[in-house]
A and B are shown apart, each in its own frame.
Chain A
Amino acid sequence: MTDLSRRKLILGGLAATAGVSGLGVAARIAEKHGLIPPDHGGIYGPGETLTYAAQRLLTRHSLAREFAPGQISKRPFANEIAPPSESFRQLQADGFVDWRVTIDGMIDRPTAFSLAQIKSYPRSSQITEVVCEEGWSYIAEWIGVRLSYVLGLVGVHPQARYVVYFSIDPNWWDSLDMAEAMHPQTFLSYGMNGNDIPVGTGGPLRMRVPRQLGYKSVKFITHLTVTDDLKKFGKGLGSVEPEAGYAWYAGI
């Protein structure tokens, strides 16, 4: 073995060690600052993690684009029919007076809210674009209460890291990190274009997360849980989407 190749080998070994320990340090710092998504495993984990970390750093406080009333789509495209369950139809027949959204987990005051209560809280509105991962989009006005307001009412514990939310459809749930949950444009939304939200677009109550793709704006919300650990839910990937191969973080 010549001097040159020995030196190369040593240098290469040092570089590899530095690289691996550097990655380890980077991963620890990223974890500490909440830059690792729950679906960071698997072959596409590096891409999901890079996207989530980069966009979290760039967009922590940025606001989704809002549009003028004249830009509201004349015919918003509804891609979902009402959940066909008997319980939903019963609630719908009664004008959703018995609709409840319960909230529990790492909070001081577990509560069940009626729609009337939700509607009595400070009303916010936004004219934003619904963006589907398939490629289509429409603009609508969304009316609701900021999720951050509701979280304030129930007293979120400081260790909380995620808000998990569930549809009346038992196979449909998702979660947001606290940055997105506390964001001023993240709504529990009950109104659309001046009226109640039609059932086809998620009425009577849907999540509205305008900085992420449409699938994060889960329809027919009945339950929220505040947690510090997503491993306890489903397959531990943060929502049903990663179980079907989709990204948990949908800012892209």
Chain B
Amino acid sequence: MTTLGSAPMPLGAGAASSASAVRSPTLTSRHSALVRVTHWIITLCFFALLVSGVEILVSHPRFYWGETGNDLTIAWLKIPIPSSRDLVPTGYSNVLPDQNGWSRSLHFQAAWVVVLTGLLYAIFGFFTGHFRQNLAPGKGDLSWRNLSHEIAGHLRFKRLGDSEAWSYNALQRLAYLLVIFILFPLVIWTGLAMSPAFDSAFPATVTLLGGRQSARSIHFLVSLTLVVFLVMHIVMIYVAGFWSRTRAMITGRADRAMERT
């Protein structure tokens, strides 16, 4: 049994380099309870945000830079799909049903849950050493030699060695850090920048991004990047052993015998 915040770390997780992590010979806790709970809450919210975000996008599938943009101005991106509004010049004659009501409500409710859960995770991560031990790259991790070795291994879909089942390699660490500290903060920031009330209290939220429509465009691009991350994440889990990795994120347990399942 693990308890919040005091979950035993995998053996060797605190070592200088993730590549040198010592293996655990038996069942042990791979992910702490708080990491597991927040992981699945955020997973659920991510799908809610994705579905509702796509529905909102459908009501105006055009993107602009700067402060303003509408059907009469130049779009840098027009997504070739029909719209749920009849005035949008999409090139399609059919108009999709309006789903923005529930989509917007679901989007913001899920955003609240993601932000609060993410804050809990971030506080936990800083104070328990989760970020330092499990996600910060080790000394040798960022060497060109190590990175090129790992990239080459990934490109050949090489199964990970046993040591790597117990801690993250440099590419994983960099990917997770990018998602946690860059993409999620950026998607929240650009989301808030689209709120006219929030902007009235904190105008720099939107002006620093170059305007409302730039904020909307960046929100879309970051969301797209997060979807790419999600696809890669699932592919990598599949390569590493889908059930063992999924089980580890649910029960916290993983053993070496399960690695090949």
Residues of A near any B CB (own CB < 8 A):
44, 46-48, 50-51, 55, 58-59, 62-65, 67, 71, 73, 75, 77, 79, 129, 131-139, 210-213, 241, 244-247, 251-252
Contact = CB atoms under 8 A, between A and B. Distances in A.
Contact of B69 (A136, A211, A245): A136
Given A129-B67, A129-B212, A134 B201 contact: no
A136 B60 contact: yes
B199 A77 contact: no
A84 B148 CA distance: 68
Contacts of A75: 72-73
A138 B69 CA distance: 6
Contacts of B105: 44, 47-48, 245-247
B37 interface: no
Interface string B79-114: 000000101000000000000111011101111100
B183 to A, nearest CB: 21
Interface residues of B, number: 40
Nearest to B213: A137
Q: Which DSSP category, helix, strand, loop or mixed, fits chain B's interface?
A: helix
5 contacts: A58-B197, A75-B73, A245-B101, A246-B100, A251-B195
A134 B60 contact: yes
Contact of A133 (B68, B72, B100): B100
Contacts of A210: 196
Contact of A47 (B87, B100, B112, B197): B112
Interface of B: 56-57, 59-60, 62, 67-73, 85, 87, 100-102, 104-106, 108-112, 194-203, 206-207, 212-213, 216
A232 to B, nearest CB: 23
A65 to B, nearest CB: 5
A59 B216 CA distance: 22
Contact of A138 (B68, B100, B196, B199): B68
B112 A51 contact: yes
Nearest to A244: B101
Contacts, number: 122
B182 to A, nearest CB: 23
A246 B101 contact: yes
Contacts of B67: 67, 71, 129, 137, 139
B56 A135 contact: yes
A131 B196 CA distance: 8
A223 B97 CA distance: 31
B200 A135 contact: no
B209 to A, nearest CB: 13
Residue among A44, A135, A213 with max Cβ neighbours from chain B (10 Å): A135
Nearest to A75: B72
Given A47-B106, A71-B67, A247-B108, 13 more contacts: A47-B111, A55-B197, A59-B200, A73-B68, A129-B67, A129-B68, A132-B70, A133-B104, A134-B59, A137-B68, A137-B70, A139-B68, A252-B195
B199 A65 contact: yes
Given A63-B200, A135-B59, A77 B108 contact: no
Contacts of B73: 73, 75
B108 A62 contact: no
A50 B62 CA distance: 30
Contacts of A247: 104-105, 108
